[in-house]
Chain A
């Protein structure tokens, strides 16, 4: 299938961009063009997936009797399609928001492209070795992005985030090793498609499943900022420069959830059921504890950081619901949250650039001085609250319905989460929109977004928020068979 060459193209173009920037091409323009051009192979692949269900690229699978059977294989199906779409759009928007006059712009855009490349590679990889490796590609660029271009306690945030994520990744690595070696010896492979079918036919012994599911939960959970492994997230996002926070909160975090959907649920179903009480506790803590913490925030970036980590609890509720509806809701909320978090951090970054602060009490009167910026803040806030019409609402309502029969109490907790995040967001929006105009905003000549050139990164994120919110079947249609297969015994 020659058309499947679009998959390596998806990775090759950003790589080409990285090399070009390293060799001295104009940084922002190259990054932008690469991100735009990457939509061509993307749409080609999307079309193929919609027509054929899934596409694959790479050599045939071999079993592990070869000493080290890694094979560079890529694939895309209905489950990875929305996440790849999310990655491409958020990368494009992040590069669009990044300013060309930032210090050391070459390294800056190089790091941004690398983070996007890592996420794309992870979502595209079929071989567990590359699945894991690509995610780690993003680690060091984020370390540098926060450390060099960050604000606030950037050094502490960068170290905390990097080491925490490394620890999570290594726990995850142990889980992956365990999964591969749990398969019968003749059928061991690193291809997760084949592996999950093998493990479906020869289920792992239930007490081993328990441990493997726990390892995967801790590993992926750290990457998703599940309480109590969350403490890197809010501070990291608050300190990161806006484009980095967009990519991290919007895209990279979804890698953990994607991994759970891909690996933990189908390969360790019994273990996953057995630890669902534990996950229930953790996700309730995510929703209530982080929700309350977000109420206490006075800085817009920190508020967004906490609220972004908090919503992961609701996604987890979908994952333990045990219904296709719940899983579908989790997928929609993952994507919707990706767009809304990216939009939120983009607006916060823009406000920080113009007003010189993101303290909410200093930002009064933004609505008069900068109505466009205020509008996009409103969109991000409303999406995060779960206003009907936007993707997050579609996801949350599906999750609540899907999880009702199995976990009615947790659904109640989730509803309180909606209340908490509404209070936090509405208070933030009130204090920013009304009141006296701050000095920095008054003196700034172009307080608002200026023309289409500055608006488009915000507009495309908003477009996708509404598009998926109004027609969730855009995502659910192709994903449904994959999700159904996950739950089949």
Chain B
């Protein structure tokens, strides 16, 4: 029986339960479905925190592994799910109210896919899990059928996602042709000790391209701002955080721990990854400067963050791997509160335009303070949490002797401070007496944002809990986060 209670199974079951409940309950009495989804995702988070180190069902064969990395990232994805469900409950659906259950249930399936990705040790498993994530996302991004922007987002995501899947499948096919296997450890055994064939390198390149779309790395980033802007905000946050993190977990798996952790691959792909990182940081930071829409702004900020993580990853050492793990958690903790704020801003003001922030420091000091701390943390300003992440990236690059990446990273961190200060400037000294909206922000928003801001400060001053998490993720054997071994 062991293994059948792993988070993935329960996530899928929960999704099914939600859809069944929707179809069984008469039309007028569906009011409690969102609440049920929220409670269930909360329970699942607790379960995952407790049991994330549990092995998968034995009948799933050798496709999955439970190790430190998977036990650190399964809770990450379920935490994202909790946030997304919370936002979905708050999301104003308008006429589409009738089919709301799918809007709640699909993220559960998607999260199951993400959790599987965190454990995958075979390219076939990766492919299946990625499609489980992606197909749900295509549906969700276009969910707002009456809004052109949402449809456009769905189409763009579909086309780009299809393209990236194409690259990935092609890569897997080449890989199979070159090595005769899709299993990580077999590939590693097969390739160890001799120089890589051209076909194998081509396969690695194609797979990297496919994953590059997922993490929105330059030059595969162009879909991100449009899709983030058009998709319903809960889905934007899922794409911005969970989906990006999944891409990085896969990169960590294949380049750090699994199939491609080879010297012959490193010789070719270390410069490639670092160059991608430099391009991504630069474009993400510079393109964020002129943005006036907070969702687009966050999209470019996310691209810049992906660039920093790519730079750390590109050093292909254990320090770089740990840095990426820590950075992803920092990204989650600092970006999610802002996305929740954006949702409420859309409810109150009708759009995510930056000008709605004008004078927020006067109107709603608590919200403004929390938001400011999150933005500054993203900018990597000490003593906030983001500084530890940036410091870790810079230290990794310094030790690896990657001076060009280091210099670009430093310069872009300064420019980055410039664009993260824009909303702060708007909140605190732009047109101070902006028209007070008829609707006020709900009171829970203040607490969420203050809590988030306080967390940035607290963890920034004592990053030890995060360091523990990183250490655990690098461990070969698995332990759940709350399960001391």
Interface-facing stretch out of B258-266, B344-352, B461-469, B476-484:
B461-469
Within 8 Å by CB of A170, from B398, B410, B471, lies B410
Given contacts A67-B467, A68-B467, contact A107 B381 (CB under 8 A): no
* Contact between B417 and A136, CB atoms less than 8 A apart: no
* Contact between B429 and A148, CB atoms less than 8 A apart: yes
Instruction: Kindly list chain A residues whose C-beta atoms are within 8 Å of the C-beta of B322.
Output: 67
Within 8 Å by CB of B394, from A107, A167, A174, lies A174
Tell me the complex Cα distance, A181–B398, Å. Answer: 9
Interface-facing stretch out of B27-35, B69-77, B328-336, B383-391:
B383-391
Residues 450-472 of chain B: 1 if any A CB is under 8 Å from the residue's CB, otherwise 0? 00000000001111100100110
Within 8 Å by CB of B417, from A132, A137, A163, lies A163
Chain B nearest CB, measured from A154 CB (Å): 9
Chain A nearest CB, measured from B329 CB (Å): 13
Tell me the complex Cα distance, A173–B388, Å. Answer: 12
* Contact between B388 and A68, CB atoms less than 8 A apart: yes
Within 8 Å by CB of A148, from B406, B410, B414, B428, lies B428
Within 8 Å by CB of B461, from A72, A140, A163, lies A72
* Contact between A174 and B463, CB atoms less than 8 A apart: no
Given contacts A140-B376, A174-B398, A178-B398, contact A68 B463 (CB under 8 A): yes
Instruction: Kindly list chain A residues whose C-beta atoms are within 8 Å of the C-beta of B463.
Output: 68, 70
Tell me the complex Cα distance, A181–B429, Å. Answer: 42
Within 8 Å by CB of A177, from B369, B398, B418, B461, lies B398
Tell me the complex Cα distance, A68–B387, Å. Answer: 13
A-B CB pair tally, cutoff 8 Å: 82
* Contact between B424 and A166, CB atoms less than 8 A apart: no
Q: A134 at interface (Cβ–Cβ under 8 A)?
A: yes
Q: A143 at interface (Cβ–Cβ under 8 A)?
A: yes
Given contacts A67-B467, A72-B462, contact A137 B424 (CB under 8 A): no
Instruction: Kindly list chain A residues whose C-beta atoms are within 8 Å of the C-beta of B460.
Output: 133
Given contacts A72-B462, A107-B361, A133-B387, contact A159 B418 (CB under 8 A): yes
* Contact between B383 and A166, CB atoms less than 8 A apart: no
Instruction: Kindly list chain B residues whose C-beta atoms are within 8 Å of the C-beta of A348.
Output: none
- Interface size on A (CB < 8 Å)? 32
Minimal Cβ-Cβ distance residue in A for B460: A133
- Interface size on B (CB < 8 Å)? 38
Q: B413 at interface (Cβ–Cβ under 8 A)?
A: yes
Q: B179 at interface (Cβ–Cβ under 8 A)?
A: no
Within 8 Å by CB of A133, from B361, B383, B411, B464, lies B383
* Contact between B414 and A139, CB atoms less than 8 A apart: no
Q: A364 at interface (Cβ–Cβ under 8 A)?
A: no
Tell me the complex Cα distance, A22–B453, Å. Answer: 14
* Contact between B383 and A181, CB atoms less than 8 A apart: no
Minimal Cβ-Cβ distance residue in A for B463: A68
Tell me the complex Cα distance, A162–B398, Å. Answer: 25
* Contact between A174 and B421, CB atoms less than 8 A apart: no
Tell me the complex Cα distance, A295–B429, Å. Answer: 34
Q: B425 at interface (Cβ–Cβ under 8 A)?
A: yes
Instruction: Kindly list chain B residues whose C-beta atoms are within 8 Å of the C-beta of A177.
Output: 391, 394-395, 398
Instruction: Kindly list chain A residues whose C-beta atoms are within 8 Å of the C-beta of B464.
Output: 68, 70
Instruction: Kindly list chain A residues whose C-beta atoms are within 8 Å of the C-beta of B410.
Output: 167, 170-171, 173-174
Given contacts A144-B428, A174-B406, contact A136 B418 (CB under 8 A): no
Q: A469 at interface (Cβ–Cβ under 8 A)?
A: no
Given contacts A68-B388, A72-B461, A143-B421, contact A173 B429 (CB under 8 A): no
Q: B399 at interface (Cβ–Cβ under 8 A)?
A: yes
Q: State the main secondary structure of chain A at its contact with B.
A: helix
Instruction: Kindly list chain B residues whose C-beta atoms are within 8 Å of the C-beta of A166.
Output: 381, 413-414, 417
Minimal Cβ-Cβ distance residue in B for A146: B429
Q: A305 at interface (Cβ–Cβ under 8 A)?
A: no
Q: B166 at interface (Cβ–Cβ under 8 A)?
A: no
The interface centre, meaning the residue of A140, A143, A147, A178 with most chain B CB atoms within 10 A of its CB, is: A140
Tell me the complex Cα distance, A162–B414, Å. Answer: 9
Given contacts A136-B381, A139-B381, contact A147 B428 (CB under 8 A): yes
Instruction: Kindly list chain B residues whose C-beta atoms are within 8 Å of the C-beta of A129.
Output: 391
Q: B162 at interface (Cβ–Cβ under 8 A)?
A: no
Chain B nearest CB, measured from A465 CB (Å): 33
Tell me the complex Cα distance, A166–B415, Å. Answer: 9
Chain B nearest CB, measured from A375 CB (Å): 36
* Contact between B414 and A137, CB atoms less than 8 A apart: no
Instruction: Kindly list chain B residues whose C-beta atoms are within 8 Å of the C-beta of A107.
Output: 361, 428
Tell me the complex Cα distance, A136–B381, Å. Answer: 7
Tell me the complex Cα distance, A166–B424, Å. Answer: 16
* Contact between B418 and A173, CB atoms less than 8 A apart: no
Instruction: Kindly list chain B residues whose C-beta atoms are within 8 Å of the C-beta of A181.
Output: 395, 398-399
Q: B199 at interface (Cβ–Cβ under 8 A)?
A: no
Minimal Cβ-Cβ distance residue in A for B406: A174
Instruction: Kindly list chain A residues whose C-beta atoms are within 8 Å of the C-beta of B46.
Output: none
Tell me the complex Cα distance, A144–B421, Å. Answer: 10
Chain B nearest CB, measured from A216 CB (Å): 14
* Contact between A134 and B383, CB atoms less than 8 A apart: yes
Minimal Cβ-Cβ distance residue in B for A178: B398
Chain B nearest CB, measured from A83 CB (Å): 20
Minimal Cβ-Cβ distance residue in A for B322: A67
Minimal Cβ-Cβ distance residue in B for A137: B383
Residues 181-206 of chain A: 1 if any B CB is under 8 Å from the residue's CB, otherwise 0? 10000000000000000000000000
* Contact between A132 and B382, CB atoms less than 8 A apart: yes
Tell me the complex Cα distance, A256–B85, Å. Answer: 48
Instruction: Kindly list chain B residues whose C-beta atoms are within 8 Å of the C-beta of A170.
Output: 410, 413-414
9 smallest CB-CB distances across A and B, nearest first, come from A133-B382, A133-B383, A136-B382, A68-B467, A167-B414, A170-B410, A148-B429, A147-B429, A166-B417
Apart from A70-B464, A167-B410, list 15 A-B contacts with CB within 8 A: A68-B467, A72-B461, A133-B460, A136-B387, A137-B383, A140-B424, A144-B424, A144-B429, A147-B429, A159-B421, A163-B418, A167-B414, A170-B414, A174-B394, A177-B395
Provide 28 A-B residue pairs closer than 8 Å at the C-beta atoms, listed in order of the A residue: A22-B369, A67-B467, A68-B463, A70-B463, A104-B362, A130-B383, A132-B382, A133-B387, A133-B461, A136-B381, A136-B387, A137-B382, A137-B383, A139-B381, A144-B424, A144-B428, A144-B429, A147-B428, A148-B428, A148-B429, A159-B418, A166-B413, A166-B414, A166-B417, A170-B410, A170-B414, A174-B406, A174-B410
- The chain A residues found within 8 Å of chain B, CB to CB, are 22, 67-68, 70, 72, 104, 107, 129-130, 132-134, 136-137, 139-140, 143-144, 147-148, 159, 162-163, 166-167, 170-171, 173-174, 177-178, 181
